[in-house]
Every structure is written in structure tokens, then in C-alpha cells.
Structure 1
Amino acid sequence: MGNSILHITNGDTTTNYLQKLHFSGDFITWREMLCEGKTTTDVGSEKFWKNRFDFFKSTYKVSKQKFINYTVKEYRNLCNKKEQKEIVLWFEHDLFCQINMLAVISWLKRYRKGYHISLVCSGKVENSNKMFGLSELSEEQITDHFKNRIDLNQDDIEYADYIWQLYCSDSPLRLETVYKFKSTSPFTYLATALEAHLQRFPSIKNGLNTIENNILKTANNHRFTSKDELVHQLLKEQEVYGFGDLQYEHKINNLQNLFSSFNPVYISKKGKQVLDNQVNFYGQLRNDISYLGGSKKYSFLFQNETKKLLQITS
């Protein structure tokens, strides 16, 4: 594990774990959540960061100083790391990580041409049905993952960049047709993550997407004394999203008109009607500022039976 390696990790937990295990080399932590909010293809540009700050400010009330200190300064550190010829990417199987991974590879394609890029991706582990995060792996497992890391060739890098371009386009329809066709891709978990992404567009049945429907269903099927308990359960049950508590709290707040109480948690009569597809809530949720990648969330509808998207033209 020589010093000529630059590790780019999916978060501080992974960075701290690798350093604790004495992995040598330099570390950059990619502190973003590009699976939410508007994204543009030009990763790292002034326009890119402006879009990202606008999203964090409006959605999560993040101050400019915090955004600069937490995210942009670390990105600038990445820009200054040019001496290491091998770059190892550490990302996980979930949607959160896979979208960040695509963006990082797109940036590397543009700014680190000719560098040796390899990927460590956690998920399935032998003799277990559970999907593992990087920090959940034992020292032996994570060392094995590192030894067996996948070298990304130019075709792999081009493919990841292409999927990133499609993710950032103003229509997800092209992404819907191409993401599952590259069966030899080293990106083992990408197809599943992108499938989950497409199901984040509102359902034609009731106007809620898969995640929002699951929030209502979970609230209806359990007895929670508080919103925190509901969030805890959602975090425990999620398999493919990789969201944190802040993201779920935001999604629950957007659905607050479908709840009659949060202490304890009860969904309202209308909430039950929406959950049973008797009422369509699309009109109450629709806005022009919610983006998934480069696409407006409410410009497309997901058909549950065919698992296809429809574009709303009016």
C-alpha cells in the first residue's frame, strides 16, 4: 500500500476507518449527495457548485460558509493532488454512493487523464445476504477488497461518464433505456441504483414516488411514538438508497399534510386514501424547483406496471 496512492472515499466514516487501519497514501473525502438536487455535467465548475449550494441552502438551510468549509475546500484539496499516479475510489452499492461515484469518475476523466484509476465497491459479501457498507467490513474483508480492487480501463471511464451525462440531462428517458445493457460493466451495483433512481419520479397511480409511498406504508404498519422512531425504521429498512436521517426528515416534512400527528405518528384519512390509490396527491406536491439529477421531478410520471416513465408535455 505505497504512498503513491490517492484514496477518494465516499465519506468521513470510510476515511477515518482506512486511516485507523493504517492504509497509506493521501485521502480525499467526497462530501456530496448528488443523488438529490439539481446537477450539471461539469463537475467542479463554478456553475456546478452554485447549483449545489442553491440546493443545500433552500432544502437543508446550509450556510455558505459551512458549504465551503465542508465540501468545496475538500474539492480544492483534490484539485491540488496531482502527484499520485494511482487513484483508488472507495464507494458503496447504494444510490447515494453510486451517483457520487459517477461524478467523481467524470471529473477524473477530464482532469486526470492517463492516471491509473481503480475501484473498491462494497455490497455483497460471501456467505451473507446483507449488503455491507465499507466501514462495516472487518479489517480482513476490507484488505481483501483493496487487494482485489478493479482497475478501470478507458472504456469503463467513458461508460461512467456517459451515464453521468444522462443523469444530468433534462430527461431521464434515455437513461431508462441504456443503463441495464452493459452486462460486463465493473460497476456491479449501478443498474440496481439507477433503477431505484427512476422510481423516484412520482407514480402515475397516486403522485407519490416509491420512497414517499414507503414512508406512508411504514407509518401505517407500525406504531411509532415519534417522527424520530419513524426515521429510524426507514433507515433500518432501506436497502438501496443509502440516505441519512436528514434526507428522510425532509421527505416526511414534504408529506406532512398526509399525517394527522407525529407524536405519536398517525397518517391522516387522506394519507390512507393516497396510500390506497384512491386519491392522487400529484397536484399538491408538484413544483418546478425539485430536481433529480438534471430532470425536473414532476415533469415525469412512473408507470408501476410497465416500470416505464412518461413525460408530461403540458
Structure 2
Amino acid sequence: MSTSFTHIFNGDSTAEAYAHSGLEGQEFVWREMVVQGPSKGIPGQESFFGPRRTYFQKELGMSAESYYSLTEEEWHRMAGASRRGEWVLWYEYDVFCQFNLIALLAGIHYWDNPPDRLSLICVGEDENHRWNTLANFSPDQYPKLLDTRKGLTHDDLLYAATVWEAFIQKAPLGLLPFAQTPHPSFPYLGLAIGYYLRQFPQAHNGLNTLEDILLQEIAQSPKTQPQLIRQVLLQRNHPFGFGDLQWMWYMKKLQPLWLQEDDHLSLTNLGKKVLEGDTVYREHLAGRHFGGATALDYIWEEDREEIRPFPEK
């Protein structure tokens, strides 16, 4: 008897490639970015969707109707689908994907009847130590990717739910044990947690690692905003995995640190001082949340590669 598949994709581009792969099965896309903004409650329930809907509306300009149709309604369709056969999750190694995956699995964990079988495809480092995303694979390679899937167990769902519970706490320190102890079913989660914590401001200038990257690129040579985003997305060797929407949000928050003349960006005097570490800039942190934590309450020590409360308790 042939296996019936239900596929859950990390984004629309993966779903589009799958549509041309010749593979069959139900298809769903989990459209979220839980690594930015406040997260509470159980994914798939109103305790989760309420704060996320508000965040997308106020910070990213997405209407409540759009968030519902793209994310909430898709989740409800997925939750109402047949649990028979095998459910396959298509994901990548980066921060963006890993935390969306954890949210997805945590939500499934709380279903009364989980799928008969659950498996994961997670692309990352290959045998030549190159980092791959699903975009590196053509649709005709998807059947071979499907053969690389690994089964997930009830214990794996419980583990994901436990990580999620740590993620939504006010103190991000609870994530550290999961970063320090590798898990065979989630080999890239530790890396993702380490870079997730780098979203908190650095002690020496108030910027996080992502914001430092943006300002460094502006300082190196004049660029238009599209050139800057393309440079950051395509040529920087980092595992954040963010798209242009998130980078543009960061640019908006950093606007006092850069200016635009003839469509090209340069740093303001304040921006230069902040980038050099001569000034600590924290004005952009008010109201910013990561998971259950607020950005103003913790700082990232790059030299020590550790996070600690701010101010010192």
C-alpha cells in the first residue's frame, strides 16, 4: 500500500518548488517568524495568535485580515486535515526556520490526535561543509530530498514543546541548556539558539549582531537600500535566515543612524559613533520583544558569547 503524504513547508518558495517536483500529497505552509516580536501561549491557539496578530499589524503594517488568511486560517486548515499517513516537514538550519519549526511541533504536540507518522527534512551543512537551503535544490531534486527525511517521535514533540516553553519565558537564559546539549533529531537547534540570542543588544554599543551587520555594510561603501539588503541576504555568512521584510524593519528602527542622499545610504555622525562603540544607542529598544523577553532587559556579550541581565541584578 502506498503512503499518503501531507507536506508542511517553511515558506511559499519551497511550496512553489514542490509543486513542480512531481510529488503528491496535501500541502500547507506555516507562515510565521516567531524569532521576532512577542510570543505567548500554545501555537495554533488564540493565546498565541492574539499577540502575533497585534505585532504584525503594529510593527510590520500587516492587516489583521491578512495575518488571519496567511497564518491563522492556514493553521486551522492544517489542524483539520486528515492525520492518517505521513506528515513531512520541510525546513532549514537557520534561526528563522528552526524556531518556526519548534513552534509548529509544539502546536502539534498539544493536538489530541497527532499524525500517524511525522518526519523531518532539514537541510544544512553538506559533506563539503557548505551550507545549503531548500532554494539550492531544483524541483527535480525534491524526490531525493524526500528520501532523506527522518522520523520524529512523541518524545521529539515533547522536546519541542519544552523548548517552546523556555522560549516564551521572560528570561531567555532557559534556552541555554538546549544550546549546550545537542539533540539528534534537531542537530541545528543549538546553533540557531546561539544566534537567536545575538538579537539582544550588545554591551558596547546597544546594537545587536544583525544591526551591526547592516551598519558595517553601509560604512564600507555607498549603497542603495535594495543593494544593501541584497548584500546582507546573499553574501553575508550568517545563519539568521531572515528575509527582506525583517531587514527593512531593522532599517526603520535604526533610522537615526543613517541617512539617504541620491538614493544612497551613509551613516550619520551618531551612526559612526555607535558603530565604533563610542556611544551606546538604546533608544530603538523600547517595546521590542524576542519570545517572552524584552530587549531592554538583557545584553549579549560578544567577547564571552553569553547573555546576561541588564542592568546587573
| TM norm. shorter chain > 0.5 | yes
> Residues 290 and 296 of structure 1 are in contact (CA less than 8 Å); yes or no, is this contact kept in structure 2?
yes
In structure 2, the residue corresponding to 1:62 is in which secondary structure?
coil
Q: 1:125 to 1:138 in 2, by over 3 A?
A: farther
Q: How big is the alpha-carbon RMSD for the aligned residues of Structure 1 and Structure 2?
A: 1.9
Aligned residue in 2 for 1:121: 122
How far 1:118 sits from its partner (Å)? 0.6
> Residues 206 and 275 of structure 1 are in contact (CA less than 8 Å); yes or no, is this contact kept in structure 2?
yes
Aligned residue in 1 for 2:157: 157
1:101-116 aligned at under 5 Å gives the runs 101-111=101-111, 112-113=113-114, 115-116=116-117
Name the CA distance, whole Å, in 1 between partners of 2:73 and 2:43.
Answer: 15
> Residues 220 and 267 of structure 1 are in contact (CA less than 8 Å); yes or no, is this contact kept in structure 2?
yes
Name the CA distance, whole Å, in 1 between partners of 2:268 and 2:76.
Answer: 47
Q: 1:36 to 1:260 in 2, by over 3 A?
A: same
How far 1:154 sits from its partner (Å)? 2.6
Partner letter of residue 218 of structure 1?
E
> Residues 200 and 209 of structure 1 are in contact (CA less than 8 Å); yes or no, is this contact kept in structure 2?
yes
> Residues 9 and 89 of structure 2 are in contact (CA less than 8 Å); yes or no, is this contact kept in structure 1?
yes
Aligned residue in 2 for 1:255: 254
Counterpart check, 1:202 vs 2:207: no
How far 1:184 sits from its partner (Å)? 4.2
Name the CA distance, whole Å, in 1 between partners of 2:78 and 2:222.
Answer: 46
Name the CA distance, whole Å, in 1 between partners of 2:3 and 2:191.
Answer: 34
Q: 1:24 to 1:201 in 2, by over 3 A?
A: same
The percentage of aligned residue pairs carrying the same residue is 27
1:1-314 aligned at under 5 Å gives the runs 2=2, 4-111=4-111, 112-113=113-114, 115-127=116-128, 129-139=129-139, 141-176=141-176, 178-224=177-223, 226-238=224-236, 239-261=238-260, 263-282=263-282, 284-287=283-286, 289-312=287-310
Deviations 1:219-250 (A, max 9, x none): 101221x2221111111134311111111111
Q: Give the structure-2-normalised TM-score.
A: 0.93
The count of residues paired between Structure 1 and Structure 2 equals 309
Name the CA distance, whole Å, in 1 between partners of 2:108 and 2:292.
Answer: 20
In structure 2, the residue corresponding to 1:179 is in which secondary structure?
helix
Gaps of 5+ in 1: none
Deviations 1:24-68 (A, max 9, x none): 111111111111111113111112111111000011111122112
In structure 2, the residue corresponding to 1:243 is in which secondary structure?
coil
Partner letter of residue 67 of structure 1?
Y
Deviations 1:283-313 (A, max 9, x none): x2231x2111111111101112211212135
How far 1:272 sits from its partner (Å)? 1.2
In structure 1, the residue corresponding to 2:179 is in which secondary structure?
coil
How far 1:173 sits from its partner (Å)? 1.0
How far 1:114 sits from its partner (Å)? 6.3
Tell me which stretches of 4 or more aligned residues in structure 1 moved more than 6 Å.
none
> Residues 54 and 64 of structure 2 are in contact (CA less than 8 Å); yes or no, is this contact kept in structure 1?
no
> Residues 181 and 190 of structure 2 are in contact (CA less than 8 Å); yes or no, is this contact kept in structure 1?
no
Q: 1:148 to 1:276 in 2, by over 3 A?
A: same
Q: 1:303 to 1:150 in 2, by over 3 A?
A: same
Name the CA distance, whole Å, in 2 between partners of 1:141 and 1:190.
Answer: 25
In structure 1, the residue corresponding to 2:16 is in which secondary structure?
helix
Name the CA distance, whole Å, in 2 between partners of 1:167 and 1:2.
Answer: 38
> Residues 134 and 142 of structure 1 are in contact (CA less than 8 Å); yes or no, is this contact kept in structure 2?
no
Name the CA distance, whole Å, in 2 between partners of 1:155 and 1:286.
Answer: 37
Name the CA distance, whole Å, in 1 between partners of 2:105 and 2:194.
Answer: 20
> Residues 11 and 29 of structure 2 are in contact (CA less than 8 Å); yes or no, is this contact kept in structure 1?
yes
> Residues 3 and 25 of structure 1 are in contact (CA less than 8 Å); yes or no, is this contact kept in structure 2?
no
Name the CA distance, whole Å, in 1 between partners of 2:45 and 2:155.
Answer: 24
Q: Give the structure-1-normalised TM-score.
A: 0.92
How far 1:211 sits from its partner (Å)? 0.5
> Residues 258 and 268 of structure 2 are in contact (CA less than 8 Å); yes or no, is this contact kept in structure 1?
yes
> Residues 125 and 131 of structure 1 are in contact (CA less than 8 Å); yes or no, is this contact kept in structure 2?
yes
